[in-house]
């Protein structure tokens, strides 16, 4: 465990305060207006730094994008891996924790996930696309292991298409997060404040997905 933590901190590149401000601004603007729709001037202004600093620190706009992803994906991967590692609970409980983790991740870090979605849509073979693919592969491995252990213990059914279940998990959360305005209008939630809405949606998604997974994975009704 300690070793893990050490590695984690070693892998994470240390950025200066300004560099972090740039990364954060980039993350925000890329999610709001897309990569091509965001100019380095916008990012610089948002971060309160000179335009030239972006090239100075990150080399290019593309490299900045990579830095944003490098940082985030590393964090995510490690979180999922640690999550599944050391719990003394049933496999279904682990699945439920995983679901809550994904829900929280998408809800809390909407901005980054929007960038990630858009990058996947574009299907271009960039370093960023490679990072996403790698992240998804490793996460799938972790979850596959969890499901297989549950199957061995008899807790889960055989013949589960883990990938489709993951698509349902990730897809449902993405869809709800992205359709915020639609969701609010239809369900008459326009009066909710942002935190209230987030709390509400988090709970809804959690219950919905846990139920979906339970009836899919186990034999219980």
Q: Give the H/E segment covering residue 47.
A: helix 40-47
Residue 39 interface partner, choices a copy of itself, DNA, none, CB cut-off 5-8 Å depending on type: DNA
Q: What is the torsion angle, in degrees rounded to the nearest 10, for the CA atoms of residue 11, residue 73, residue 79 and residue 204?
A: 170
208-to-6, 60, 119, 169 alpha-carbon distances in Å:
37, 42, 27, 10
By the rule CB under 8 A, 52 interacts with a copy of itself = no
- Radius of gyration over alpha carbons of the chain, in Å? 19
Residue 175 interface partner, choices DNA, a copy of itself, none, CB cut-off 5-8 Å depending on type: a copy of itself
Q: Which is nearer to DNA, 48 or 171 (CB)?
A: 48
Which positions from 90 through 129 interact with a copy of itself, judged by CB under 8 A?
114, 117-118, 120-124
Q: How far is CA 21 from the centre of its chain?
A: 20
Nearest one of 137, 133, 180, 182 to 162, comparing CA atoms: 137
Q: Which is nearer to DNA, 20 or 90 (CB)?
A: 20
68: tokens are: 């944003």
By the rule CB under 8 A, 133 interacts with a copy of itself = yes
**11-19, 58-66, 145-153, 206-214 -> range binding a copy of itself (CB under 8 A):** 206-214
Q: Which is nearer to a copy of itself, 148 or 174 (CB)?
A: 174
CB within 8 A of 101, min separation 6: which ones? 79, 80, 83
- Contact residues: a copy of itself, CB under 8 A: 31-37, 114, 117-118, 120-124, 133, 136-137, 140, 161, 163-164, 167-168, 170-176, 178-183, 185-187, 204-205, 208, 211-212, 215-216, 221
């Amino acid at each position: 465990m300690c070793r893990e933590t050490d590695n984690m901190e070693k892998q994470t590149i240390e950025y200066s305060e300004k560099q972090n401000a740039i990364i954060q601004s980039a993350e925000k603007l890329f999610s709001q207006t897309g990569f091509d729709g965001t100019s380095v001037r916008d990012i610089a202004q948002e971060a309160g730094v000179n335009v030239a600093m972006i090239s100075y620190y990150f080399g290019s706009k593309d490299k900045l994008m990579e830095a944003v992803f490098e940082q985030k994906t590393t964090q995510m991967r490690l979180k999922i891996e640690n999550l599944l590692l050391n719990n003394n609970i049933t496999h279904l409980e682990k699945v439920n924790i995983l679901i809550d983790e994904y829900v929280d991740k998408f809800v809390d870090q909407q901005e980054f996930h929007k960038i990630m979605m858009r990058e996947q849509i574009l299907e271009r073979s960039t370093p960023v696309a490679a990072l996403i693919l790698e992240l998804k592969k490793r996460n799938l491995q972790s979850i596959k292991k969890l499901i297989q252990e549950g199957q061995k213990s008899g807790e889960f059914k055989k013949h589960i298409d883990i990938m489709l279940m993951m698509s349902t998990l990730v897809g449902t959360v993405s869809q709800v997060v992205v359709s915020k305005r639609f969701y609010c209008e239809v369900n008459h939630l326009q009066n909710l404040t942002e935190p209230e809405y987030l709390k509400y949606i988090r709970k809804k998604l959690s219950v919905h997905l846990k139920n979906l997974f339970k009836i899919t994975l186990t034999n219980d009704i």
